[in-house]
Amino acid sequence: MKNKLKLLLFVPAFLLSSCNFTYSYVVAGLDASSGSGDVIDDGIEDSGTYDIKIWVDDAIVDLTRTQVQQFVNDNGTKYKINLTIEPQSEGNAASSMLQDVTEGADIFAFAQDQLARLKVAGAVAKLNSTYLNLVSERNSEDSVKAATIGSSVYAFPLTNDNGYFLYYDKSVISDEDAKSVTTIMAKCKAKNKTFNFPARGDGFYSASYFLGAGCKTSWDINEETGAFTAYHDNFHEANGLKAAKGLREVADKSVVSTDAIASRLGERSAALVSGIWNYEVAKNRLGDNLGCAELPSYTVDGETIHLGSYDGFKLLGVKPQVNSKKASVCRKLALYLTSETCQTERFNTVSWGPTNVKSSQEEAVVNHPGLAALAKQHEYATIQSQCPGTWYLHLATTAKAIETSSTDAQLQAILTNYKNGLPDLLSDD
């Protein structure tokens, strides 16, 4: 009723986008198989039957179902889980949770930049010391930092690959060409192909120019309320001007497309800046011609600047439960789903980069071309921290405005507008 009314009130057209497909499936533990060592005992007696709803990306719905079954088996059929798995992109998890937290999933995957929103809405709770120790022990330091607000950790690290790197077609662009934006664009232009780089359309990518030039942005969060209280941002200063000048180069619409679509590689497109989620498609399109590398450099006033990027992570959140036994089961399940076993399985199935220390040291992971490129870019990358979701839109608008300006004074005016817009992004109260 409440949800329906909300729709009536504000978002009639939301109906279009809310056509989710629901998979319902009952996992009944029948036979106990050997444990994998990922089962933990926190001393809470919680055997029983639970209705658990999980949101994960479409690509791992089936895998997750198997893993939940495995969890049940490992625990010696102590649990009976009535499982509902719904495909939900990690980018939209927060928006969907915020519609109505009580109706949202119990366990859900999300991109780390949504952590603050989820915390404000009460969709995630702090991890207690037992879990905090296990999570910190098993996962890379950066990934745990990604799940941290203030001094507390709020979610389980899931993947370390929510950053971006360069895909290119070796038949058009040589490994050496791939080191510079200018040559990539020249080679693409010569072959009448596009360089797909969303730097002007998406703040997450626009940031690469600014971060590369040495700009910094960080936002203070009130740990109690999750509200953004202050910002420290120097995108409008001298380094920002360099970045803005660099961005003007990719405003050439005859070569650069802002669509990050991997399926165009090899056909209309010869290079793409995107993340590991496009690896399989890119591989299928280009085969042996697929090149993966760290991001290229851009040149401003004779100075060569390597593009920066965000090192982003995907996290697994557990919604605070009314029932403490269910809360315990959900946390155990989330811990299991982010364990070494599950992360390795996920890498093997969909090439998602593990945050688990052991899992990420496996040979296959280290040698994976996409993940290797991401690892090389890591040197120039900034750990993505919490900022208001609208900041990315604000930055994209700024990058968009840059394309029509020609003089330094105009660029500076745009950057000043950017700075002046920042206070509006802070939380009201």
Partner 1 sequence: MKQYSDLELLRLSRSQKFGYKVGLFFKRIPLWFKNLGIKIWGFIKGIGLGIFNWFKTIIMTFIQGDWKTKVSYFVMGFGSIARGQILRGIIFALFEVVFILYMVFFGGHYLSRLYILGEVESAVDAESGTIVYGENSFNILLYGVLTLFFIVAFIYTWNLNIKQNRISEQIIKDNKKLETAQDDLRAMVDKEFHKTLLAIPTIGILIFTVLPIFFMILVAFTNYDANHTPPLNLFGWVGWDNWAQLFTWTNSDGASFSMTFGQILLWTLIWAFFATFSNYFIGMLIAMLINKKGIKLKKLWRTVLVFSIAIPQFISLLFVSNMFKTDGIINGILGTHIDFWGNAILARITVIVINLWIGVPYLMLVVTGILMNIPADLYESANIDGANPWQQYSKITLPYMLFITGPYLLTSFTGNMNNFNVIYLLTGGGPNVQEYYGNAGKTDLLITWLFSLAVNDSNYKLAAVIGIMVFIVVAVLSLVVYNIIPSTRNEEEFQ
Which residues of this protein are in contact with partner 1, per CB under 8 A? 2, 5, 8-14, 16, 95, 98, 101-102, 117, 120-122, 125-128, 152, 194, 225-227, 253-254, 257-259, 268-269, 318, 320-324, 327-328, 330-331, 389-390, 393-394, 396-398, 400-401, 403, 414, 417-418, 420-424, 427-429
Closest CA to 130 of 354, 331, 316: 331
Instruction: Considering the complex, state which of residue 325 and residue 376 has its C-beta at the smaller distance from partner 1.
Output: 325
- Residue with Cβ nearer partner 1 (369 or 421): 421
Contact at 8 Å (CB) between 274 and 223? no
Contact 273, 196 (CB under 8 A): yes
Question: What CA dihedral angle connects 352, 354, 358 and 362, to 10 degrees?
Answer: 30
Nearer to partner 1, 306 or 394 (CB): 394
Question: Distance between terminal CA atoms of the chain?
Answer: 30
- DSSP letter at 353 equals P
CB of 422 to partner 1, least distance (A): 8
Minimum distance of partner 1 from residue 166's CB (angstroms): 18
**Inter-residue contact 101 to 321 (CB < 8 Å):** no
Residue closer to partner 1 (CB basis): 106 or 311: 106
Nearest to 162 by CA among 331, 334, 326, 371: 371
* CA distances for 116 relative to 90, 150, 222, 392, 421, angstroms: 14, 11, 10, 14, 20
Q: Which is nearer to partner 1, 68 or 415 (CB)?
A: 415
Task: Report CA 280 to chain centroid distance, whole Å.
Answer: 17
* Nearest-approach distance from CB 265 to partner 1, in angstroms: 13
284 or 324: whose CB is closer to partner 1?
324
Q: How far is the CB of 93 from partner 1 (least distance, A)?
A: 14
State the minimum distance, in angstroms, from the CB of residue 18 to partner 1.
11
Select 195 or 347, whichever has its Cβ closest to partner 1.
195
Q: Closest approach of Cβ 181 to partner 1, in Å?
A: 17
Structure tokens at 291: 């090149």
Minimum distance of partner 1 from residue 326's CB (angstroms) = 9
Backbone angles phi, psi at 180, to 5 degrees: -135, 135
Query: How many alpha carbons lie under 13 Å from residue 141 in its C-beta half-sphere?
Result: 0
